Structure 1
Amino acid sequence: MMMKQQLSWARALAALALAGCPGPTAETSATNGSSTSDATTETGSTTDVTPTTSGGTSSTTHGTTGNPTEEIDPLPQGPVRAGVAVGYLTGPVGASMAGFGGRTVTNSTPWNHLLNGASGFYGLGTIKAMVIEVGGERLVVMKTPTMSSEHSLTEGTIEKLKALHDIDLTGRLITAATHSHHNLARYWRLPAPLGFVGADSPDEELIDRMTTAMADVIAAAVADLGPAQWGVAWNDDWDPDDEVYRDRRGENDPTYGKDARLTLLAVRRPDGTPMATVINFGMHGTVFDSPNELFTEDAPGGLEMKFEEAFFAAKGQPIFGMFAQSGGGDASPAGDGLGHPEPARIERVGHAAAPKILELYDAIEWRDEATLGVRSRRIDLTYSGIGYDDYPEFRNSQGGPYLWGGWQCKGAEGDVDDGNPATSMEGKPKNCMPLQGLLESLGETVPHGEVHQTYLTVARLDDFYMLTLPGEPTASVIEYARAGYEARAVDGMVFGYSQDHLLYLTQPDDWLQGGYESEMSLWGPLLAKYLVDGQMTVVDALIAGDGSPVWSEDSPSLSVGKSFEPRPLEASVDAPGLTSEPPMGIGRGETLRVAWNGGEPSLGEPRVTVQVDDGNGFVDVPSPSGWAGAALDNSRYHMLTHYAPVPEPNGKLLAERQQKWYVDWQVPADMPAGTYRLRITGRSFDGQATEDYALETAPFEVTFAAEHALTAVLAGGELTLDLVRPPPAYELVKTWPISGFRLLDPEVAAADPVHVRAPLTLTFIKDNLPVGDTYEVPYTPGVGHVFDFAATGLDPDQLFARVHLQGDVVPAFIEAAIAVP
């Protein structure tokens, strides 16, 4: 949901009194990606890309010009080429987060306005791009970590691709926002005071940074183009027990529940090397609540990470997972069945989803060739055009039309009970807030580009079709779109939160039930149906293979960007350097903190990497995702990173400030024992020039915590080993976690002991001396660590089991007497 807090007209007017990007290091195919960290200028984006191809060749121009009058050849057919890339979009730390309305400003920075500024990040938001090419024509699907798509981002990215990379993707880009309520705001060009309800006021510098970052990732994916296969698969009831997500809209029960389908669209190399998969279903990014002050992708990000880690663990090859919303307008994240706190819960969502996604991925039937077609258009939205001249359900109590749209529509008190699905607004006054009056009260005119125009795309791959919807579609809308596909004997998916944003979208009968989703719409009961019907006419054209232009528009955009002066940099009072060190030793499950003086946030997020001494010096610990060249670091949900400047933010840029940062790392339950350190890299500004810095902490040992205990029980010739520790306490300072935030054991409740589920190395001790051989004991899900003791020939009397994790770099041992019940 775009605006979780329902705001009355009076409260919205009260908002009028309020006063008023970091870019990616882009990585291509997960098997061949590289990571760079180059300096940036004081005024531009923090975007760095050094793309690496995975067997393909890159090109920089293609396709048609996008002239609405052009005639193009019939849809191209032939071999498929594809490229993928990933980059990061989170900061600058201090900017506000979109999604929840009314976030009280307690952290006022140079980058936020009406909503609270972020004070750190829990993982960096990822931008992921998949480029599919057939016969010189291209389709790009770009997953973004934002609350929504918006034409400022869609069209801004296309323009940046032309200007910075000489790549023309006019009409060929589909944006897919994950709908996290905890990532960058200020990209929606609404009148500034309306930003109070969940988007904050628009900021052209942030839009520029965001679109630059997005264009750079797409350019890296284009550079990765090479021969590929593609395929789709879907499961119509993949989460029946609501382990991953659930229906949240009661007003339309029992007619509509959650959208129960999961759809995958994947690409791989012809030799079977995985590249990426779109993961299409509907789920809000609202595990964290509005007090949260950390940038995070919330449940969608946790799902992507745990899927990618599970994929690599199962197949030994990495993949990019790209979550893309479908009917998320009335679906909430689950993952709370075992009582875990918010950060661990986003991992639980991914843990529950990953095996189901893997199973569906294995069912994909791969194709080497395709017919490809893409059609995009900007349409005008009018009362008559949507169909209200012949439909009396979008009028005021005097019978007058909501000619320019209406907001906060609800039946008169007593007419409609939102808690009772048997009641409806049908045939009753709607009591909407006329958008014309609202816009004019804010000094705007109608038609307005953010309300009366929208951007739509349809794409075809053989008999599989993709259509976009500019807002938050509910399950009723997805069901209607699928019926349209079925009527045409084709298959397809729907991208919600795509290309543009018009708040909630419901079918007419669903809208008339009232409730939050109806109130948070702009064009009444018919808009969603009108959009889907229009998209189906484009599907019909693509089925026929006509030569219509890739891009067309009813009228030019009424909402365009403005020039801006980039914010100057704040100098660092102190040279980069550590201000605290880790302890000499730390147990698995415990949390360490390291602090340092660094640079101001607009220079980019500092990267904190875990390194281990492998016997020949310190090397990066590989990322559990298996991405080539990627390390275990604070870019994902392994660490919490905070910006704590002195003096504290006051909404103003200072000439200089103490640019202080710290990171909290909770050591995983199965972290191999050994000697580690953290390496911190970033950029700083001394008042004259920017510079890269690199800091290394003192070494520290990872071992068992004092609370760890081993039991060894012998029965029926089998020895069962169980290695556990009590769950670390979940602690908060203000609104952010400082310990106990990781999902150490996904199979137990938050209050239950944490079990080590990694393979063990087992030896035996008797009379303080080793006896017998050394054995490897794997972990079997649902069974545990079970070992055939009878095969050892040892006498269990007075015998001790001694184990360490098989993956230990320097073994850390724990012992227990063998118990024979």
Structure 2
Amino acid sequence: MMLASLPRAALALSLTLALACGDDSGTVPMDDAGVPDAGPVDFGPVEPANTDHCGYADLPATARAGGTVEEGAVMAGVAEMDHRFPVGAALGAYTGRARALGFGAPPDGRREALAGGFSPSIGIETRNSAKAIALSAGGETVVLLKSDVGLADAAITHAVEERLEEATGESFAGKVVWATSHSHSGFANYTSNTVLYLGLGLKRDVVADQVVEDLVTVAQAALGGMQPARVGIASNAMFDQEDRVTRDRRGENDELMGGPAKDDFLVVLRVDAMDGTPMAIAPVFGIHGTILGEDNLLNSTEGSGAIERAIEESFDSPVVVMHLQGAAGDVSPAGSGGIACPDKPCYNFAKIETIGRYARDAILTTWMDAGEALEDTLAIEMVTRSVPLGPDWETFTVRDGALEYAPWDRRTLPDRELYAEDGSTVLSPIDEFNAPYGAGLCGGERPYFPGAEIRGTGGTPYGSCLHLDRAAETFGNVLQIDMVQMPACAATRLTLSALKIGEWSFLTAPGEPVTLWARTVRERAPAGADRTVVIGYAQDHLGYLLTVEDWLLQGYEPNINVWGPLEGEYVMEQLLALAPLVETPEREDATMGGTDRWVPGPVDASDLDAIDDAPLAGTLEETPWDQVYVRGQRVLTDSQPEDIRRLESAYFTWIGEDPRTGTPDVRLQRFVDGEYVDIERRSGRPVRDRDLLLTWTGDPLVPEEGEGQTHHWAIEWQAVTWLGLEGLEDLEDRVGVPTGSYRFHVEGTGYSLDSDPFDVVQGEILLEASYADGTLSGRATFHAPEGWRLLHLTEQSNGPIPANGTVVIAVDRAGTLENIEVELATDGTFTVATADGIDAITLTDRFANQGTLSF
């Protein structure tokens, strides 16, 4: 989750003003050293903060506990489906999308009650997927689930387990892994963790319930399709050394890491049917989902989704590709090219696509390696445990008691001594983190919010920390979210899992593991570093996971955790205490060493209006409403698409359903053999997103309470080759989308529509040329200044892009033509020998795109 610098400054100002207007009981006089001058006072025994406002329930015993781990024939099932999030919900996970901050404001000023105090989403670039891999062997059955959202939530993880038992009659207690992509442009409003409302908006039960429903549905589909299978796992410990896919973003800990370092440990889980047909591929490595910024309000699966799509279209049939996060906490996406964005919002989906193109070959190479390790008989075991967190400071004692917190009384002043004389050994007990209800926005040395800071810590790595209980009400008022009573109940428990598949151990990290933290886990895990895989952003979410020394180096990452520098190592030790259970021959009940879990209650939704009946759904307007939003806020004068050249865009608009009842499924069709048919990618999937942009606009943009809306939908397609167009997969082929007649087909909620047909014709090549002394030289380019699709790996795709390949130059001299065939240089330039007296030239590429230049 990101608190971008500008929103953070604005939030700081808002909180400062709000806190300044209250009483000053949280402030005391400071001496010259910045330490309160009041001496210590004995107030009696210190007790942890009260959690009576939190409701807890015991975890059911681990399913199938008490037996023996045995090898058995492998069965596997896979499935995928769209997550059914409503457009209009908020996107996670940028605080800058909070409406009060204004950095991610909708370009048309719309508001939507569903998003609460956050900007509403306005459409879809790529649809959120729910994916499932079910594995069974030796009497054990486990389900791996993945969602294209910002982070996991234990309430959803456990709800899915319970619902699966209800649906199947079989216990799945402790046998479900729910992992997430950590896209910062994925639908939100589902987490029950009130601290995380700061990045994902308030919880809407209607959204969270739908997430559970989708995960249960896709899990059941995978379980219902189980068949004999083989599983193989392989790794590459030197993934992406060129930093084309990812890059290290945390320079503060370079000394601890021995220099800049990132998560370069790639693991690929391969599942094949017995006849060799690929069923599933699960690459694991860390990459943040932050190519797009807070100004983007179109749902996108970001880099993780681009990786999945690139691999999917390497096969001739549907294969479930499930990218699982590794140590992405301090790993940014790299990529290249993209588009120039002089204005906001910046829809740089082109750069996202480069991530997938760069990652694909290395992942497929490791997938091939996994083919050498395929086994049809395996032992599988999985355990899950809930562990306590705050508000008891003694919980966080780590390193066999060598590090602990001093009691959290909020009154005792710190000694401000962090390290021993050697300058590296952290002193204990730590009395600087004196935050009975937790603290956030640490990582700096000065207090951002006077009145909410931890007293006496100015000038230390704790100086910017703020007491969550003192800031919660103000956060809520400024961001229009209800943060309720502190400590946050979700921050008092944490769900962890360990999964053993053959010789490999998969450990879930319930937050954002940084590279050093994940490496330490792997090095200390009983399966060994080369056979241990950390799956980040899975099962639950607490914040960034760092070692103590790393946390104290400050920087961005310590901003987002609740229980200070010992939190990350405590989680690590609890995970490492769980890991040995899957290494023994017994099937243990992992709940015996844990605690109960928090059970969230319903959230007030009285501010939501009733869903519109949308009686006009399925209606076409001759002239669309002038405020229908499409990329660039282009005003459309016709609801129907017009004939276009290659690289130009076609648009179609219609009146449809309230997005809370469903999302229209729009497909691109082409006229083939006398009829319009869905265009399919190489994998057999239809062209329905990634190549198409779907947007929604409600009329009025800001409805009054109880006022209904007319729901306008629009689709845009830029005429370039779609992902998975067999034979034309290379970027050099993007300008060669087949010409002919196309249309859009819409399946809505209770209606279907077809647009008018439109033709795609050859594209225009721009020419610059000169000739002298028998030499003709020049440059051929394409230019789509309003485009958004990727056309080149390194150039900006909405700027001049070099033409490529073999071309024919027709030289016109007073009506006499001379055809010259030439291979263009990589920058689109050419030089040919020809006689003088040229009147004009026409250059034609292999796709019949043309450009003409007169002299």
TM-score by length of 2: 0.74
Match of 1:715 in 2: none
For the Cα contact (< 8 Å) 2:146–2:322, is it kept in 1? yes
Match of 1:680 in 2: 746
Q: 1:254: how far off?
A: 3.6
Structure 2: gaps of 5 or more residues: 21-58, 100-108, 342-347, 415-430, 448-456, 475-481, 622-637, 721-734, 770-777, 831-839
Match of 2:610 in 1: 568
1:99-110 equivalence runs, <5 A? 99-105=93-99, 106-110=109-113
Q: 1:223: how far off?
A: 1.7
Q: Provide the C-alpha distance between the structure 2 equivalents of 1:444 and 1:236, rounded to a whole number of angstroms.
A: 45
Q: 1:110: how far off?
A: 2.8
For the Cα contact (< 8 Å) 2:508–2:538, is it kept in 1? yes
For the Cα contact (< 8 Å) 2:509–2:538, is it kept in 1? yes
Equivalent position to 1:345, from 328, 346, 351:
351
Q: Is 1:372 paired with 2:380? A: yes
Change (3 A) 1:743 1:232: same
Q: 1:139: how far off?
A: 1.7
- The AA in structure 1 aligned to 2:744 is L
Change (3 A) 1:616 1:503: same
Equivalent position to 1:408, from 438, 441, 462:
441
Structure 1: gaps of 5 or more residues: 18-64, 415-423, 684-690, 712-721, 730-738, 787-797, 806-811
- The AA in structure 1 aligned to 2:328 is G
Q: Is 1:241 paired with 2:239? A: no
Report the secondary structure of 1:255's partner residue.
helix
Equivalent position to 1:297, from 298, 301, 308:
301
Q: Provide the C-alpha distance between the structure 1 equivalents of 2:495 and 2:172, rounded to a whole number of angstroms.
A: 15
For the Cα contact (< 8 Å) 2:396–2:405, is it kept in 1? no
Deviations 1:442-477 (A, max 9, x none): 895666431110001000011100001111111111
Deviations 1:49-75 (A, max 9, x none): xxxxxxxxxxxxxxxx94269742111
Q: 1:177: how far off?
A: 0.9
- The AA in structure 2 aligned to 1:750 is S
Q: 1:228: how far off?
A: 1.1
Report the secondary structure of 2:184's partner residue.
coil
Q: 1:801: how far off?
A: 9.3
For the Cα contact (< 8 Å) 2:253–2:553, is it kept in 1? yes
Of 554-563 and 370-379, the range deviating more from structure 2: 554-563
Q: 1:495: how far off?
A: 0.9
Of 697-706 and 463-472, the range deviating more from structure 2: 697-706
- The AA in structure 2 aligned to 1:109 is E
For the Cα contact (< 8 Å) 1:204–1:561, is it kept in 2? no
Change (3 A) 1:426 1:273: farther
Equivalent position to 1:496, from 532, 536, 545:
536
Deviations 1:145-188 (A, max 9, x none): 11100112212222333345555422111111111111222222
Match of 1:734 in 2: none
Q: Provide the C-alpha distance between the structure 1 equivalents of 2:600 and 2:86, rounded to a whole number of angstroms.
A: 23
Match of 1:745 in 2: 792
For the Cα contact (< 8 Å) 2:61–2:173, is it kept in 1? no
Change (3 A) 1:359 1:749: farther
For the Cα contact (< 8 Å) 1:80–1:229, is it kept in 2? yes
Match of 2:833 in 1: none
Report the secondary structure of 1:242's partner residue.
coil
> Larger Rg: 1 or 2?
2
Match of 2:413 in 1: 398
Change (3 A) 1:726 1:69: closer
Q: 1:627: how far off?
A: 3.6
Deviations 1:613-665 (A, max 9, x none): 11231111102xx344x2112x3x111111122222437453x4321111111
- The AA in structure 2 aligned to 1:515 is G
- The AA in structure 2 aligned to 1:255 is L
Q: Is 1:150 paired with 2:127? A: no
Q: Provide the C-alpha distance between the structure 2 equivalents of 1:69 and 1:215, rounded to a whole number of angstroms.
A: 17
Match of 1:22 in 2: none
- The AA in structure 1 aligned to 2:75 is R
Match of 2:586 in 1: 546
Match of 1:88 in 2: 82
Change (3 A) 1:220 1:426: farther
Q: Provide the C-alpha distance between the structure 1 equivalents of 2:357 and 2:63, rounded to a whole number of angstroms.
A: 50
Of 401-410 and 131-140, the range deviating more from structure 2: 401-410
Deviations 1:725-763 (A, max 9, x none): 42311xxxxxxxxx4111123364436644677999999
1:190-589 equivalence runs, <5 A? 190-191=193-194, 197-256=198-257, 257-309=261-313, 311-312=314-315, 316-337=316-337, 342-364=348-370, 365=372, 366-381=374-389, 382-387=392-397, 390-391=402-403, 398-399=413-414, 401-410=434-443, 412-413=445-446, 432-435=465-468, 448-485=488-525, 488=528, 491-549=531-589, 551=591, 554-562=594-602, 568-579=610-621, 580-589=638-647
Q: 1:800: how far off?
A: 9.8
Change (3 A) 1:177 1:598: same
TM-score by length of 1: 0.77
Change (3 A) 1:286 1:675: same
Match of 1:170 in 2: 173
Of 82-91 and 393-402, the range deviating more from structure 2: 393-402
Q: Provide the C-alpha distance between the structure 2 equivalents of 1:780 and 1:494, rounded to a whole number of angstroms.
A: 47
Q: Is 1:119 paired with 2:122? A: yes
Q: Provide the C-alpha distance between the structure 2 equivalents of 1:317 and 1:723, rounded to a whole number of angstroms.
A: 40
Change (3 A) 1:413 1:784: closer
Report the secondary structure of 1:605's partner residue.
coil
Match of 2:477 in 1: none
Deviations 1:646-687 (A, max 9, x none): 222437453x4321111111111231112111111111xxxx
Of 445-454 and 388-397, the range deviating more from structure 2: 388-397
Report the secondary structure of 2:200's partner residue.
coil
- The AA in structure 2 aligned to 1:285 is G
Match of 2:699 in 1: 646
| % identical equivalent positions | 25
Change (3 A) 1:253 1:302: same
Q: Provide the C-alpha distance between the structure 2 equivalents of 1:302 and 1:781, rounded to a whole number of angstroms.
A: 29
Q: Which has the higher strand share?
A: 1
Deviations 1:318-371 (A, max 9, x none): 422212111111111111356666121111111111122222222212222211
Q: 1:247: how far off?
A: 1.2
Report the secondary structure of 2:209's partner residue.
helix
Report the secondary structure of 1:326's partner residue.
coil
Q: 1:599: how far off?
A: 0.9
Q: 1:802: how far off?
A: 7.0
Q: Is 1:182 paired with 2:192? A: no
For the Cα contact (< 8 Å) 1:578–1:697, is it kept in 2? no
Q: Provide the C-alpha distance between the structure 2 equivalents of 1:544 and 1:498, rounded to a whole number of angstroms.
A: 24
Q: Provide the C-alpha distance between the structure 2 equivalents of 1:367 and 1:762, rounded to a whole number of angstroms.
A: 57
- The AA in structure 2 aligned to 1:740 is G
Report the secondary structure of 1:197's partner residue.
helix
Change (3 A) 1:746 1:724: farther
For the Cα contact (< 8 Å) 1:107–1:118, is it kept in 2? no
For the Cα contact (< 8 Å) 2:312–2:683, is it kept in 1? no
Deviations 1:180-218 (A, max 9, x none): 111222222234xx5662121121111111111111111
Q: Provide the C-alpha distance between the structure 1 equivalents of 2:182 and 2:329, rounded to a whole number of angstroms.
A: 10
Deviations 1:13-70 (A, max 9, x none): 87999xxxxxxxxxxxxxxxxxxxxxxxxxxxxxxxxxxxxxxxxxxxxxxx942697
Q: Provide the C-alpha distance between the structure 2 equivalents of 1:677 and 1:710, rounded to a whole number of angstroms.
A: 35
Q: 1:232: how far off?
A: 1.5
Report the secondary structure of 1:603's partner residue.
coil
Q: Provide the C-alpha distance between the structure 2 equivalents of 1:260 and 1:69, rounded to a whole number of angstroms.
A: 34
- The AA in structure 2 aligned to 1:666 is Q
